[in-house]
Amino acid sequence: MAKDREVKVLDVGCGWGVLLHKVKEMFPKSVTYGVEPNELYSDLARRKSNAREIKTGYFSSELFKFRFDVVLLCDVLEHVDSPDFLLNNIYSALSQRGVLFLEVPSPTNFNLFEPSHDIFNMAHHVFYTKDTLRSILEDIGFIDINVVDIEYNNNAWKLRVTAKKI
């Protein structure tokens, strides 16, 4: 993200706005927005994130009348009943050459933790592999897809993805 120009950033499933706050801190000229279905969290995000706008509800590309340069989707996709629907809406909401940044739990965790571990007990509908994420994003039309397996906390792993809209 360029530090010297205004960049519109949307965090889908923004929780209480921690990531939006960090984006604004690192990139002061960014204009940040969020969408969060939990009303309590979205209210907190409005107060704490310095975002221009936080909407309460589920994301669709019609929520905003403009396109975004960056869409963040962190620890959300694994909780969604219709991931293709959500990702297609995100694709529509991105500007030309816009970037999707996505994180989901990694299947590497299956080798590290017992089945009773909290990472498996959250409402995760789907676990993704590098190949399935790449395939889903390619089918939607994303390009320059980069998927890496990263360690993030207490030996837990995530798949971190960047992809661009044509």
Question: % helix / strand / coil in the chain, to the nearest 5?
Answer: 30, 35, 35
pLDDT at 156: 72
pLDDT at 128 (0 to 100): 83
103 neighbors 74 (Cβ within 8 angstroms)? yes
Whole-angstrom distance, CA of residue 75 vs CA of residue 99: 17
| Helices 18-26, 39-48: inter-axial angle, 10-degree rounding | 20
Residue 152: predicted pLDDT = 77
pLDDT of residue 163: 97
Q: DSSP for 30-95, please give it.
A: -EEEEEES-HHHHHHHHHHS--SEEEES---TTSSSS-EEEEEEES-GGG-S-HHHHHHHHHHHEE
pLDDT of residue 23: 96
One digit per residue, the tens of pLDDT, for the chain of length 166 reads: 555 578 999 999 999 999 999 999 999 999 999 999 999 999 999 999 999 999 999 999 999 999 999 999 998 998 888 899 999 999 999 999 999 999 998 765 455 556 665 655 566 557 788 899 999 999 999 999 999 887 777 677 788 899 999 8
Q: Which CATH class is domain 69-166?
A: alpha beta
Predicted pLDDT at 1 = 53
Does the pTM surpass 0.85? The reply is: yes
CB neighbours of residue 28 within 10 Å: 9
Cα separation, 147 vs 6, whole angstroms: 27
Alpha carbons within 13 A on the beta-carbon side of 150: 11
Q: Indicate the Cα dihedral angle 90, 93, 98, 102, nearest 10°.
A: -20
Q: What is the pLDDT of residue 112?
A: 55
